[in-house]
Copies of this chain bind each other. A is one copy, B any other.
Amino acid sequence: MEAISSPTLLLNEEICRANIRRMAEKAEANGLAFKPHMKTHQSAAIGQWIKNAGAQEITVSSIAMARYFAEAGWQQITIAFPVNIREAKAIDQLAGRIDLTLLVNHIDVLKTLDNKLTNTVKAYIEIDSGSGRTGLRSDQKAEINDLIEAVQHTSLIRWAGFYSHPGHSYAARSKQEILEIHESVERQCNKLRDAFESKSASSFEICVGDTPCCSAATTFSGIDAISPGNFVFYDLMQYEIGSCSIADIAVAIACPIVDQYPNRNELIIHGGAVHFSKEKTGNNHFGVVAKTNNDNWQIADPQMHLHALWQEHGVVQCDERTFSRYQIGDIIPILPVHSCLTANLMKQYRTINCQQKIAMMGS
């Protein structure tokens, strides 16, 4: 901490590697392909830890991220985002270099894409398993059937199966609630399998990817592959959902205290919306102050939290007792609410043990 003078994203490599290992082992034990989502860390170096844990395929959320990881040597990448026909040329170029899988949810989009391709791609049909964001519902059997047949009539697009992000698991507030959502997803996957598996001559697959379900579940009935992303770091949001313990959180922002107000027990830190993002917990906090214990993070004190953010300023609310423990010039680690958005803003990690700097896409 002593070397730090401005907001710094700390990465506990040991916790991160343990999170990766645990998920890779769960995938292997359940016979699942492991295709982790890279949008959380956006880092070739952390990608290498994932490769070392056995992953051969990955998932990303944009063509830019797919290119970055292709440069880093990944040969099998899914862009888990509705295909953007304006990027057809970039998709085609990338498909000439790697084994690329896309999400295609509309017959018109499929036809436009097929007309613009010169290389082969695979396509999942996206299933809206309850999040209400994107994809077809599993009970839209006629529409799904039409779409599968349309894919099968293209010249360069091969149908890969189904993809779903059960994002409604983020509304859960206990492991039990997560598991209820996961069981509903399993039932939907089994129905899809029964209805459509016979339509595929080869490589039919159902891939499901959200950190809450993949963390809490112990069975994966009807599911062939998982693509969680946030689990590499976890964060306060995942802790609130019930996906992890505080000790599983692998990142924190170390922030210098620059000012203090004893009359209202507030510490002012350099650490604002451009470091943490403005994602809040259910209690309207932007982060909690942490301390280290046996190399894991713990909440320093339940009474202390990051309760207001400006562009560069953060306000840590204390009580009288906790306020007195800190002074201007101290560095305090703060656990972020949403590690994906925090990492995206910080653009670089510093590992806790060896103080190594780890680069990200765009850093």
Contact = CB atoms under 8 A, between A and B. Distances in A.
Interface of A: 4-6, 39, 61-64, 81-87, 90, 105-106, 108-109, 112, 132-134, 167, 256, 258-260, 264, 268, 270, 273-274, 277-279, 308, 310-313, 315, 328-329, 331, 340-341, 344-345, 347, 362
Contacts of A313: 81, 133-134
A310 B167 contact: yes
A293 B106 CA distance: 33
A30 B132 CA distance: 54
Given A39-B312, A274-B341, A82 B133 contact: no
For this chain, the copies found in one complex come to 2
Given A82-B259, A167-B310, 10 more contacts: A5-B86, A6-B84, A6-B87, A82-B258, A82-B268, A106-B260, A132-B264, A133-B315, A134-B259, A311-B344
Closest 5 CB pairs of A and B: A5-B86, A82-B259, A82-B258, A61-B312, A278-B278
Nearest to A268: B134
12 contacts: A5-B84, A5-B86, A6-B62, A6-B63, A6-B86, A86-B329, A108-B328, A109-B328, A133-B313, A274-B344, A278-B278, A278-B341
A273 B268 contact: no
B273 A341 contact: yes
A132 B279 CA distance: 22
Nearest to A4: B86
Contacts of A341: 273-274, 278, 311
A64 B275 CA distance: 14
Contacts of A344: 274, 311, 345
A38 B101 CA distance: 42
Nearest to A272: B61
A207 to B, nearest CB: 18
A135 to B, nearest CB: 9
A132 B260 CA distance: 12
For A6, A62, A268, A310, which residue has the most chain B Cβ atoms within 10 angstroms? Answer: A310
